[in-house]
Amino acid sequence: MFRAYTARQAQCLDAYAIHRLGIPSCVLMENAGYRASQEILKILMRVKDPFVCVFCGSGNNGGDGFVTARHIFDQGIPTKVFFIGNISKLKEDPLINYHILKKIKCPLKVVHGLTPEILKDLKKASLVVDAIFGVGLTRPVQEPLKAIIDAINRSKKKVVALDIPSGLDATTGEALGACVKASQTITFAVMKKGLLSNDGPAHAGKITIASIGIPGIAEKKMSSFHISRSHRGS
């Protein structure tokens, strides 16, 4: 049986990998996005004329989304990224991957709320990638993000959530106001408790645990390691 982790424990595991093992956080982000893209590409193999919409928030989960989008786009699959927020608020690792997307000319739109363009692209999308919020979310989702999550759910499209469906408490499984209803959740490194309890099963869909290159020994030692500012849990 696998062990399910609280949000704090998952953040500690990341911090242990970064600060004790010396694995750069950008490497963990690259691994997460690559592994997610490989799972998504398996789905798209069965889709004729695929088109992928990726929704990214301003935290590290959004950075995972940028990497995922890059690898899908690199396979010649039409991909469009919606970044929700202000570029000035991106942390170092997501910002690096944002600029890479710009340089390779992957379609990328900065938005501050729900727009007609989002609704139009959701209508024609074969698959939607949710990378808005990660395990760090602890309070109810507010506008304008709530309207975007509601639009994703109304679209009835196949949705793959990265790490955890946006709006779900990773520890309790409570839906925090608005929550993405995913067809599949690709959770990174370890299972999150919230995916298995309360509202979690109804929003997570099929759950896949994807390795991001943290050695198994870290799982045994991370409980005593404190979270630092550079953990990946947002």
Residue 183's pLDDT band (boundaries 50, 70, 90)? very high
| Helix axis angle, 25-44 to 7-19, nearest 10° | 120
Residue 63, domain member (yes or no): yes
Note whether residue 230 is domain-resident.
no
Is 130 within the bounds of a domain? Answer: yes
Give me the mean pLDDT over the 39-50 stretch. Answer: 95
Q: What is the domain count for the chain?
A: 1
Per the domain annotation, does 229 fall within a domain?
Answer: no
pLDDT-based confidence at 234, cuts 50/70/90? low
pLDDT of residue 222: 46
Is residue 98 in some structural domain?
A: yes
Do 135 and 170 meet the contact criterion of CB atoms below 8 Å apart?
yes
Distance CA 112, CA 121 (A): 16
Q: Phi then psi for 168, rounded to 5 degrees?
A: -100, 130
Task: Examine residue 49 and state whether it is found in any structural domain, yes or no.
Answer: yes
pLDDT for res 232? 59
Sign of CA dihedral 184, 180, 62, 28: negative
Percent of the chain predicted with pLDDT > 90: 88
Please report which confidence band the pLDDT of residue 2 belongs to, taking 50, 70 and 90 as the band edges.
low
Q: Which domain holds residue 210?
A: 4-224
Residue 94 inside a domain? The answer is: yes
Q: What is the CATH number of the domain that holds 201?
A: 3.40.50.10260
Q: Does the residue 84 lie in any domain?
A: yes
pLDDT digits 0-9 by tens, 52-74: 999 999 999 999 999 999 999 99
